[in-house]
Amino acid sequence: MQSSRITISLLSGLLALMIAMGIGRFAYTPLLPPMQQALHFSDSIAGYLAASNYLGYLLGAIFAGAMGWQHQRLLLLRISLVINIATTGLIGCTTSINLWILLRFISGVTCAMVFVFVSGIVLDHLAKHQRMSLAGWLYSGVGLGIAISGLAVPFLVQRWDWDGAWLGLMILCVVLVGIVWWGLRESTDPDPKNTPDPTGIASPPQSPPTKSFIWVMIAYGCEGLGYIVTGTFLVALAAETPSLAHNPPSLSWVIAGIAAFPSCIIWSWLAKHWGYLQTLIVIFLLQAFGIFLPVLQPNAVGIYGSSLLFGATFMGISTLTTAWGRQLSPVHSSRIIGYFTAVFGAGQMIGPIGAGLLTDYTHSYSLSLAIASSVLLLGASCLFIQYMYHRKKQQKSAKLIVHG
């Protein structure tokens, strides 16, 4: 009975993230080229549209995290999902840039709330049953949604154009949300205080001192700014690569989604053996290389290699950072996850605006990709500082025990 309840909770959470993030948030990437081709708007406008979504994501994360909402999470999650699905379909009902900006903003708010509340509900449930090692399955829903949207968009666009594609994706989400509605429940009588710390570092049950996680928060903000350049313009970059003219541009997005699906599970397993901070440093370095790869190789190797490394890393970083952050304040899991998500959202709001303006000015994505890669290297440096801080803390504790 316990095993089946955990499975249902994970499946429901997976589908919720697939709906709100994999489709509602990231379907914009494969749909951007056909929308630009039909309506002839610039990369800077595309950047503003993406940024409006990420501004909403930032505010939604702050709202969900600061308020806590420990006892209303399920209700607010359901409301957020319904609004998120509606905004996906409404994009296809207008050609007004201003309305798109508003709809993408609302989509971002609800997407962040779904992420924070689903993470809190499902991780609390796993913690109660000492099954935190399964957290990677929850976040694999984002990769699954990306892969499905990448496969579905060319089919839908060919038959019903870009606007019909948005409506078709909305219908798919409506079908899937019924499972989420039925399967996701709050964990009864949770006991987060007994949850083992995946970092191997003991933490107090209440909100920790800022010093204990500040460098990880900065690194997560760098991730938000760095990854989103590829996350927004990957398919557009593939569409403008001459050697890929005979391949569908969305193929790069499908590769990213397929790589993202198992990545959270694999990185979670590796983190148990290497340590969470050490694993995060490795992922940051891989992602920085992957984002810079199309600059080194502006061909199939560069684009598809970048797609693979992007997909294999971006949700792994979110998974490990969220799980790590939850342990800092297990009693207020939604709050601490909200703080981390807000910093991430601030970074990803800046990225697409800057990249869009730079691309319009230079007529190339190379400078934007190079800057994004550099920001990720800065994030890896922050993680290394955090790792050294905890290592010194552990050594100091060990000396006290020996001399005590």
Confidence band for 59, pLDDT divided at 50, 70 and 90: confident
**Cα distances (Å, whole numbers) of residue 102 to 30, 62, 221:** 20, 19, 24
Residue whose entry in the numeric block shows the structure tokens 């000396």: 399
| pLDDT confidence of residue 146 | 87
Ramachandran class of 189: left when φ > 0, alpha when ψ lies in -120 to 50, beta otherwise: left
| pLDDT confidence of residue 204 | 36
This prediction's pTM? 0.78
Q: Tell me: the pLDDT tens digits for 157-167?
A: 999 999 999 99
Backbone angles phi, psi at 287, to 5 degrees: -65, -40
Encoded tokens for 388: 């050294």
Which amino acid type is present at position 155?
F
Cα separation, 259 vs 257, whole angstroms = 5
Average pLDDT for residues 244-258, to the nearest whole number?
85
Of the candidate ranges 42-56, 201-215, 260-274, 340-354, the one whose mean pLDDT is the lowest: 201-215
Average pLDDT for residues 23-38, to the nearest whole number?
89
Cα separation, 229 vs 35, whole angstroms = 18
**What's the whole-number average pLDDT of the chain?**
83
Cα separation, 302 vs 293, whole angstroms = 5
| Domains of the chain as residue ranges with CATH | 2-184+204-403 (1.20.1250.20)
Encoded tokens for 313: 């890393």
| pLDDT confidence of residue 334 | 60
Q: Tell me: the pLDDT tens digits for 73-84?
A: 888 899 999 999
pLDDT at 185 over 50: yes
Residues 190, 196, 198, 204, Cα dihedral to 10°? 80
**Residue 79 contacts by C-beta under 8 Å, 6 or more apart in sequence?**
none
| pLDDT confidence of residue 91 | 94
